[in-house]
Structure 1
């Protein structure tokens, strides 16, 4: 449970993760191995597993966020040697034109320095052809399927229907989607459509697979570069690079600022945020009285997905109109979003609240104007006028 009284991982995230693990198990089995899942705290379970294997250490992704770093330290305290690998950025640390811990705080400066230096994304590594099997007596044992995975059907209004085989978690669905996205020429229209509110094609929809690691930013960009080579580059393909750089920037900011990004004040000197539990509950339930925001939060609860435009509006309304604690909003998005990413979620909430690196000191969205600009005919609000 979170500090705010709800599950840290809600139903949609659990189902999408379960799909991802099923796909991973099938792919590992095809390479001669398999997925072994255990339940419990890593610091309790992994030392026992290491002892059974005769191992003294393990390798895992380096994630520069407090909870993840605490888990690694707990494993070390339990006697394991832990090697962490920085792996989820588009740009390799060695290719940055500055020390990773000296990353510019503003995204524009970060992007311009990379582009002036001619920095490009690193190439993805090739997949292995085979893997060693588990030792005798220790076979891969995936956990039983969560009943929620078996019994869930997609809301027909969903912009990311993850129960459809084409949209499920896992690398195979991710790569198939990437191929279809480019075959239909959608990278060329990305910049023009990215502020859409509903439908399958208004944005790239890479983020759920990126968030679970089923797709890497480098894989995605390699396919986009191949698309550019064949069909030409334009503002749309550039903007896909631009958005993946934003994702990188939030990662480097975590390397630089660490736990300060999780404090109530963030990087600012603003007063401590307030929290009204009743107003927050109405916000989470889509009952706060603003038609656009309420529609967005209903979509989020019903589907586990929400357009970037609506995420910004919903976050702004909680922080600036309801005077709510940005950390509660960040925790709610963590619980609900199938594409929850610790770096991007924290960075974006800090940005909206004016407690991060936004040079304008936060973003207050006029939701009435936003509705006029992005939902002029009211179609989105009508679509989500009910839960």
Structure 2
């Protein structure tokens, strides 16, 4: 019998994996086998001239996939890695196997939705399961089409309704058997595709441990910070054992170090760790050690993450237009326009290059951009500062900044990245119409002794 294909996307885990659970139940109910698959996108250069997926993201993805493959192997399964656009690669795989059914997680961003539509257009049955948010959209006290256009209103209504996250699913005790993969046609197809993937040693090329890696706030080159689910769950245990949730709100705006913020975001972004797993263990922590402003603020930040996801369910592709949601207001000038976004393309290109390379002349901004290039990570505070500087001081295109973050950040998340850039640019749902950060004030507030600037000035 033809297998069910499970397509891993941004859900590189086995614990709390509703989409994988659905595929497993489908295969068991119909007596089919199950083949887990991951598709590597072919290399792509953005319209602004840099790689869409930079080296830091490639390395963390490689360790996440290695860990996922090892965890699948424990259950007698395996991970097949293919290269190419899913809309062509997956149908070819299905044809070789005689498969007609694909299951994957649902991702509400335009390109990801287009991939699903293209697969269905080939005649395949494709089921998607929503699973990346803390709260289930069906739990909300309003339809997603009526999502409040202010986060504060959303949060208040959620909290007034007393909503809590569903319990996370345990890791499966067993997975369906694999299909036969030793026929010449299937073996040749898989080997041909796998031969195109970057060699593991290339993706994990040894880092020269200079200043960027030594001072990284997310040192992914160390095993305990690797990209997979095993490291993610271990980090969550360590974070709670050290009682760091109690100090989260007080320290979250610091600029450097491995302990000032939760550092859950890289694992959340790849799906190696689910928001519901974090929340469930946080509630256990509060029951044992007590709740305070810090533990509440972790819930607060997880709600922000949900809000950006639900905005995609409400607005979809509108969030990707140059004028964001402000297009709904006709010819009204936006804060980004007033900041100089209409500069000439040549001027914008030169300014963007200086910003990306940390050569703007603004010391705090330049330190942050060098940290980002050197490590693939940046504190939340500095992300806001550098985004504001590109938009309001350099008159840059917010979409170019969002694309650079996509290229560089080891915790790139399409929902949060898009939502945060729109928020700073004043083109999303923020009632204040944009957030401009004064570099001098930010320097005085967050780096008064110059330690952060000195740390990254020569990198």
TM-score (norm 1): 0.97
Could you say which residue in structure 1 is the equivalent of 2:162? 118
Q: What whole-Å deviation, never above 9, does each CA across 1:37-80 have from its counterpart, x for those lacking one? A: 11111111111211233221201111111111111111112221
Deviation at 1:150, TM superposition (A): 3.5
Query: Contact (CA 8 Å) 1:97, 1:117: kept in 2 or not?
Result: yes
Q: Distance in 1 between matches of 2:107 and 2:271?
A: 13
Q: 2:434 aligns with which of 362, 366, 378?
A: 362
Could you say which residue in structure 2 is the equivalent of 1:298? 370
* Match runs of 1:247-262 below 5 Å: 247-262=305-320
Q: Distance in 1 between matches of 2:301 and 2:153?
A: 15
Q: 2:351 aligns with which of 252, 269, 279?
A: 279
Deviation at 1:148, TM superposition (A): 3.3
Deviation at 1:137, TM superposition (A): 2.4
Aligned to 1:60, what secondary structure does the other structure show?
strand
Query: Contact (CA 8 Å) 2:91, 2:122: kept in 1 or not?
Result: yes
* Match runs of 1:219-258 below 5 Å: 219-258=277-316
Aligned to 2:126, what secondary structure does the other structure show?
strand
Could you say which residue in structure 2 is the equivalent of 1:67? 111
Q: Distance in 1 between matches of 2:355 and 2:177?
A: 49
Aligned to 1:268, what secondary structure does the other structure show?
helix
Change (3 A) 1:206 1:153: farther
Deviation at 1:153, TM superposition (A): 4.9
- Where does the alignment leave 5 or more consecutive residues of structure 1 unmatched? none
Aligned to 1:55, what secondary structure does the other structure show?
coil
The 10-residue stretch of structure 1 (121-130 or 20-29) with the greater mean CA deviation from structure 2: 121-130
Q: Distance in 2 between matches of 1:188 and 1:303?
A: 27
Query: Contact (CA 8 Å) 1:34, 1:133: kept in 2 or not?
Result: no
Query: Contact (CA 8 Å) 1:286, 1:298: kept in 2 or not?
Result: yes
Could you say which residue in structure 2 is the equivalent of 1:331? 403
Q: Distance in 2 between matches of 1:89 and 1:27?
A: 23
Matched, 1:148 2:192: no
Matched, 1:42 2:86: yes
The 10-residue stretch of structure 1 (50-59 or 215-224) with the greater mean CA deviation from structure 2: 50-59
Query: Contact (CA 8 Å) 2:318, 2:324: kept in 1 or not?
Result: yes
Q: Distance in 1 between matches of 2:230 and 2:406?
A: 25
Could you say which residue in structure 1 is the equivalent of 2:391? 319
Could you say which residue in structure 2 is the equivalent of 1:88? 132
Deviation at 1:205, TM superposition (A): 0.1
Q: Distance in 2 between matches of 1:306 and 1:38?
A: 31
* Match runs of 1:122-141 below 5 Å: 122-138=166-182
Query: Contact (CA 8 Å) 1:101, 1:252: kept in 2 or not?
Result: no
Deviating beyond 4 angstroms after TM superposition, the runs of 4 or more aligned structure 1 residues are 138-143
Aligned to 2:326, what secondary structure does the other structure show?
coil
Could you say which residue in structure 2 is the equivalent of 1:212? 270
Q: Distance in 1 between matches of 2:203 and 2:227?
A: 14
Query: Contact (CA 8 Å) 1:178, 1:220: kept in 2 or not?
Result: yes
Deviation at 1:331, TM superposition (A): 0.2
Change (3 A) 1:153 1:23: farther
Deviation at 1:309, TM superposition (A): 0.2
Deviation at 1:84, TM superposition (A): 1.1
Q: 2:74 aligns with which of 30, 44, 48?
A: 30
Deviation at 1:234, TM superposition (A): 0.4
- Where does the alignment leave 5 or more consecutive residues of structure 2 unmatched? 1-44, 328-332
Q: Distance in 2 between matches of 1:153 and 1:72?
A: 40
Q: 2:57 aligns with which of 13, 32, 54?
A: 13
Aligned to 1:37, what secondary structure does the other structure show?
strand
* Match runs of 1:154-169 below 5 Å: 155-169=213-227
Aligned length: 387
Aligned to 1:82, what secondary structure does the other structure show?
strand
Q: What whole-Å deviation, never above 9, does each CA across 1:157-208 have from its counterpart, x for those lacking one? A: 1000001000000000000000000000100000000001000100000000
The 10-residue stretch of structure 1 (17-26 or 72-81) with the greater mean CA deviation from structure 2: 72-81
Higher Cα Rg, which structure: 2
Q: What whole-Å deviation, never above 9, does each CA across 1:318-360 have from its counterpart, x for those lacking one? A: 0001110000000000000000000000000000000001100
Q: What whole-Å deviation, never above 9, does each CA across 1:72-93 have from its counterpart, x for those lacking one? A: 1111122211111110000012
Q: Distance in 1 between matches of 2:132 and 2:428?
A: 22
